[in-house]
Amino acid sequence: MQYLPIFTDLTGKAVLLIGGGHVALRKARALLDAGAVLTVVSHQFETDFQHWAAQGKAVLVQGDFQPAQISGHWLVIAATDDDAVNAAVHQAATARQVWVNTVDDQDKCEFIFPSIINRAPIQIAISSGGTAPVLVRRLREQLETLLPQHLGPLATLVGKFRKNVQQKLDNFAARRQFYEQVFSSKVVSLLQSGQPQAAEDTLEQMLDGHQPLRGEVFVVGAGPGDPELLTLKALQLMQQADVVVYDYLVSEPIMQLVRRDAELICVGKKAGAHSVAQEETNALLIRLALEGKKVCRLKGGDPFIFGRGAEEIEVLLPHQIPFQVVPGITAAAGCAAYAGIPLTHRDYAQAVQFVTGHCQKDGKEPDWQSLSRPNQTLVIYMGLMKSAHIQAQLLAAGRSADTPVAILENGTRPEQRVFTGTLGQLAALIEQHQVQSPALLVIGEVVALQKKLAWYGAQTPRAQITPLN
């Protein structure tokens, strides 16, 4: 960044302007608008300069520029049509470490004048650092049409109440919530329709009667898809929410159960598809809660199992936003039950491990030895893409190629598909049946029981498995 934008207060400050022609006049106007006190050095002066001198806003010095004139000034502007004079002004000013702007000569500028959009007290300054002035002008025109004229009066009005608001509302979150309410209240339309007094009265009443709305976030597990697997608590909170922030895993029939007039915001989360960045989701939850809304963060399965639920709660803490966490039936439990696979069984599996097929950030591999032990069940979330790798690693670590496996696609939903086979066939089965997300991989001897225990939905053809007994 070659230029650092700063806003300077020039009220009552002495500024030296060298030049009295029309270019100098343009600069003089901007400086006088900002309250600067001008000394103008030139042989001739445009008539406006004479008026300003008569009003005491400018001192006119007729004659040549003298370097000594610089002392006592905060800024210098070289605006003559003589390059040699401008160069001399620039040199004299920089030698004295006084900021200088040389009109139309960027190399001799220690500071530049940006293009300004003025909705005082709100100001927007734009600059291309002298590279693309036409583009800057276009940008300015576009922004001018975007920013309503009442923005200035609105900022002035809330500025007037700032101290009172600070006294009445002692924490940042409450103040922010109050201002958010003001900006979407009729204060704005009153200003728009030219009724500043009524706007001020309304704002005063709002502050007097302000009861901070308590925003809250419910982090709710929606289970694997069948709406009847929702907990009572999940349903209650879904019905209370003003806004539901959900991701793609939450099934359509479950979405039908949220409060009818709740605002629905989808934040994606589908492997390979566009999704909202986690930081954006976090920021969204904070914003909505600070607006005083009851926010239901509805997540597939259980929020604390491969659900990033903790991350979404952690960001609420600094803002003192209250929250609740409602567990949901995680995909492993739900999908295995609906497929007829007991995840543990006295005879076949004394342990079950839930693992993610997604690589860790640092590309670190899981402990394949521990995952390959017999007499335990392995449930792999998000494992479709990596199935060939998972298969190879488990075999290499000693798990038998005959170990029964199941692929559970869309578990607990009407479109559920279950494929079984052996570890040696895992990737081929997925390929053969074109299995789609969401799907779970279940690996272990318990899968053999699926033949006997399957009860839900249409039974799909499956590869032959070796009976266990």
Active site residues: 247, 269
Q: Does 247 sit near ligand SAH (CB under 6 A)?
A: no
| Residue whose CB is less far from ligand SAH, 20 or 221 | 221
* Least distance between ligand SAH and beta carbon 334 (Å): 7
Which among 45, 50, 41 has a CA at the least distance from the CA of 89? Answer: 41
| Shortest Å, Cβ 332 to ligand SAH | 7
The least CB distance from residue 147 to ligand SAH, in Å, is: 42
> How many Cα atoms within 13 Å fall on the side-chain side of residue 133?
7
Q: Which H/E stretch holds residue 134?
A: helix 133-146
Cα–Cα distance measured from residue 61 to residue 68, given in angstroms and rounded to the nearest whole number:
13
Report strand pairing: 243-246 vs 263-266. Answer: parallel
Does residue 335 touch ligand SAH according to CB under 6 A? yes
Q: How far is the CB of 348 from ligand SAH (least distance, A)?
A: 22
Pick 335 or 430: Cβ nearer ligand SAH: 335
Q: Is 444 in the site for ligand SAH (CB under 6 A)?
A: no
What residues from 100 to 159 belong to the interface with ligand SAH (CB under 6 A)?
A: none
Is 382 an interacting residue with respect to ligand SAH (CB under 6 A)? yes
**Residue 395: strand, helix, or coil:** helix
Residues 442, 378 contacting (CB under 8 angstroms): yes
Range 171-230, binding ligand SAH (CB under 6 A): 224-225
- Under rule CB under 6 A, residue 387 binds ligand SAH: no
Q: Can you spell out the DSSP letters for 278-317?
A: HHHHHHHHHHHHHTT-EEEEEESB-TTSSS-HHHHHHTTG
Please identify, among the stretches 91-99, 272-280, 330-338, 424-432, the one whose residues bind ligand SAH according to the rule CB under 6 A. 330-338
Which residue has tokens 């069948």? 226
Angle at 353 between CA 347 and CA 354, to 5 degrees: 135
Stretch that binds ligand SAH, among 99-107, 205-213, 293-301, 340-348 (CB under 6 A): 293-301
Out of 408, 442, 443, 447, the residue judged to bind ligand SAH by CB under 6 A: 408
Cβ distance to ligand SAH smaller for residue 74 or 323: 323
Of residues 24 and 298, the one with the C-beta less far from ligand SAH: 298
Q: Are 41 and 65 in contact (CB under 8 A)?
A: yes
Distance from C-alpha of 193 to C-alpha of 173, rounded to nearest angstrom: 30
Q: Residues 412, 416, 420, CA angle at the centre, nearest 5°?
A: 110
Closer residue to ligand SAH in complex, CB, 75/250 = 250
Shortest Cβ distance from residue 271 to ligand SAH (Å)? 7
> What's the angle, vertex CA 248, arms to CA 363 and CA 265, rounded to 5?
115
| Number of residue whose CB is nearest ligand SAH | 301
Contacts of 318 (CB under 8 A, 6+ apart): none
410 is a site residue for ligand SAH (CB under 6 A):
yes
38 belongs to the binding site for ligand SAH (CB under 6 A) = no
Nearer to ligand SAH, 403 or 410 (CB): 410
Among 246, 348, 381, 419, which residue sits at the site for ligand SAH (rule: CB under 6 A)?
381
Name 8's Cβ contacts closer than 8 Å, sequence gap at least 6: none
| Residue ranges that bind ligand SAH, judged by CB under 6 A | 224-225, 249, 299-302, 305-307, 330-331, 335, 381-382, 408, 410-413, 437-440
